[in-house]
């Protein structure tokens, strides 16, 4: 697999890039104050970063200028490899344009989630957009399954999530076909990176993000870095056991958070207990709850209680400044958050982590894609201080629920 090389930077360059990545656009005076570098050094470094296209310098009033990180890194192809298929977004940093492929088709046929079909589909994108061919700077794959960091394949115990990928080393496989740098990462870590870079967790040093939708996942930022643990598996909050008598989870345990509050779990509970005959989705459940359906409201409150127990335990271990809840379930809003908050009070979280704030994540169904951009740029030692509009996908689910 081709690996991304970090661009060598002097200490002062690195300090300025890190500051701009974490704190957004700054004046040169504030950069000097925050980094402790002299105004002359800051000026020299900014001029050199400007010449290499890493920062833009814009006048904000008669005297001051604002410095921000920018990227003209060519084209990034982001892929989310999930148990129900895959989605692809192309980020063209030169044309400042994003193209999304949500239900990829080749001709009339929906693409199956197999290595062969993914390569065929990506080849078609390159063929149909021939001007992209030599400009793909890299590919990031967000995988909705735990990864074995040694082999780059999906963990063997979870392979039934995506059986077609078997023991294939995903990054090597894609890199062999396209000969560009490929990064593979767990989707929840990418979502956390997006929230930390541009979303709810901006400017925090210790931050936890939990995503609740078709599955439950999470990511941890400790002391300003994504914490992956010894084997990349840290933050698997979906597999925190909440109810030892609960349903068997695909991980082999019982009563994991994911087996209780994932979309499938909530739909199953509603169907079993309330004889809902029609097909129903998490989005329907949230909409019904907002319209006053008592059973759906109860379901969401109970999910909130269970997430609350998990958060209380997580917070007692990591004492983060902030925990954000994302994913489709977070759109249930007050109903969900109030029940989480009640459990945190009941568990006396105040005693351990008095200043913790619980917030809704900013990016509902786009966090993984945006996280892939953040990850890729940080690997190239670049960044974007403020998320430009062209990179943001219109959030269809959000619009439907809040229309
Ligand atoms: Zn589990």
| d(CA 363, ligand 1 centre) in Å | 25
Whole-angstrom distance, CA of residue 383 vs CA of residue 68: 9
| d(CA 256, ligand 1 centre) in Å | 5
Sign of CA pseudo-dihedral 277, 279, 282, 288: negative
| d(CA 315, ligand 1 centre) in Å | 20
Whole-angstrom distance, CA of residue 186 vs CA of residue 220: 12
Question: Cβ neighbours of residue 275 under 8 Å, at least 6 residues apart?
Answer: none
| d(CA 370, ligand 1 centre) in Å | 26
Per-residue confidence (pLDDT) for residue 105, from 0 to 100? 61
| d(CA 249, ligand 1 centre) in Å | 5
Could you tell me the strand order of the sheet in which 97-101 lies? 97-101, 85-92, 75-82, 136-143, 182-186
Per-residue confidence (pLDDT) for residue 111, from 0 to 100? 66
| d(CA 158, ligand 1 centre) in Å | 10
Question: Cβ neighbours of residue 13 under 8 Å, at least 6 residues apart?
Answer: 45, 48, 49
Whole-angstrom distance, CA of residue 158 vs CA of residue 268: 21
Whole-angstrom distance, CA of residue 103 vs CA of residue 246: 34
What length does the chain have? 403
**Closest by Cα among 87, 100, 193, 184 to 145:** 184
Give every residue of the chain whose pLDDT is below 70, as ranges. Answer: 1-10, 61-62, 71-73, 103-111, 129-134, 273-277, 394-403
Per-residue confidence (pLDDT) for residue 130, from 0 to 100? 46
| d(CA 166, ligand 1 centre) in Å | 20
| d(CA 246, ligand 1 centre) in Å | 11
| d(CA 90, ligand 1 centre) in Å | 33
Question: Cβ neighbours of residue 161 under 8 Å, at least 6 residues apart?
Answer: 83, 144, 145, 154, 250
Question: Cβ neighbours of residue 259 under 8 Å, at least 6 residues apart?
Answer: 246, 247, 248, 249, 250, 265
| d(CA 248, ligand 1 centre) in Å | 8
Beta pairing partners, 99: 90
| d(CA 250, ligand 1 centre) in Å | 6
**Closest by Cα among 390, 402, 403 to 91:** 390
| d(CA 271, ligand 1 centre) in Å | 22
CATH code for residues 200-360: 3.30.420.40
Number of Cβ atoms within 10 Å of the Cβ of 245: 6
Question: Cβ neighbours of residue 296 under 8 Å, at least 6 residues apart?
Answer: 270, 285, 286, 288, 289
| d(CA 79, ligand 1 centre) in Å | 25
Per-residue confidence (pLDDT) for residue 149, from 0 to 100? 85
Q: State how far Cα 117 lies from the chain centre.
A: 24
Per-residue confidence (pLDDT) for residue 277, from 0 to 100? 64
For residue 44, the surrounding DSSP H or E stretch is: helix 39-51
Would you list the domain boundaries of the chain?
11-69, 75-188+367-385, 200-360
Could you tell me the strand order of the sheet in which 26-27 lies? 26-27, 65-69, 55-59
| d(CA 299, ligand 1 centre) in Å | 20
| d(CA 258, ligand 1 centre) in Å | 6
| d(CA 255, ligand 1 centre) in Å | 7
| d(CA 237, ligand 1 centre) in Å | 9
Q: State how far Cα 365 lies from the chain centre.
A: 9
| d(CA 379, ligand 1 centre) in Å | 31
CATH fold match for the domains 11-69 and 200-360: no
| d(CA 260, ligand 1 centre) in Å | 10
| d(CA 14, ligand 1 centre) in Å | 40
CATH code for residues 75-188+367-385: 3.30.420.40
| d(CA 261, ligand 1 centre) in Å | 12
CATH code for residues 11-69: 1.10.10.10
Per-residue confidence (pLDDT) for residue 349, from 0 to 100? 82
Per-residue confidence (pLDDT) for residue 160, from 0 to 100? 84
Per-residue confidence (pLDDT) for residue 244, from 0 to 100? 94
Number of Cβ atoms within 10 Å of the Cβ of 244: 8
């Amino acid at each position: 697999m081709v690996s991304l090389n970090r661009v060598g930077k002097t200490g002062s360059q690195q300090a300025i890039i890190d500051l701009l990545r974490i704190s957004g656009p700054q004046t040169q005076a504030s950069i000097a104050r925050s980094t402790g570098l002299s105004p002359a050094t800051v000026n020299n470094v900014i001029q050199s970063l400007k010449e290499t296209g890493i920062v833009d310098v814009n006048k904000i009033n008669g005297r001051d200028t604002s410095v921000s990180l920018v990227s003209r890194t060519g084209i990034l192809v982001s892929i989310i490899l999930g148990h129900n298929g895959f989605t692809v977004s192309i980020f063209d940093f030169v044309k400042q344009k994003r193209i999304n492929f949500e239900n990829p088709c080749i001709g009339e046929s929906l693409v199956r989630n197999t290595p062969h079909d993914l390569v065929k589909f990506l080849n078609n994108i390159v063929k149909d957009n021939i001007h992209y061919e030599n400009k793909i700077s890299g590919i990031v794959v967000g995988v909705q399954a735990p990864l074995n960091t040694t082999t780059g394949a999906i963990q063997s115990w979870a392979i039934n999530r995506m059986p077609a990928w078997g023991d294939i080393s995903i990054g090597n496989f894609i890199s062999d076909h396209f000969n560009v740098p490929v990064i593979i990462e767990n989707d929840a870590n990418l979502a956390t990176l997006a929230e930390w870079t541009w979303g709810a967790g901006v400017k925090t040093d210790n931050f936890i993000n939990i995503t609740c939708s078709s599955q439950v996942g999470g990511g941890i930022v400790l002391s300003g870095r994504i914490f992956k643990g010894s084997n990349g598996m840290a933050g698997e909050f979906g597999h925190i056991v909440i109810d030892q008598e609960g349903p068997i989870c695909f991980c082999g345990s019982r009563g994991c958070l994911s087996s209780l509050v994932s979309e499938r779990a909530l739909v199953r509970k509603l169907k079993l207990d309330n004889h809902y005959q029609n097909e129903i989705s998490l989005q329907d459940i949230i909409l019904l709850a907002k319209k006053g359906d008592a059973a759906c409201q109860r379901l969401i409150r109970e999910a909130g209680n269970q997430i609350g127990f998990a958060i209380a335990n997580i917070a007692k271990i990591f004492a983060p400044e902030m925990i954000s809840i994302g994913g489709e379930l977070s759109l249930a809003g007050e109903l969900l958050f109030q029940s989480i908050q009640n459990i945190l009070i009941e568990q006396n979280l105040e005693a351990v982590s008095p200043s913790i704030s619980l917030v809704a994540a900013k990016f509902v169904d786009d966090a993984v894609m945006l996280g892939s951009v953040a990850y890729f740029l940080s690997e190239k030692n670049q960044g974007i201080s403020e998320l430009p509009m062209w990179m943001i996908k219109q959030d269809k689910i959000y619009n439907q629920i809040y229309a």
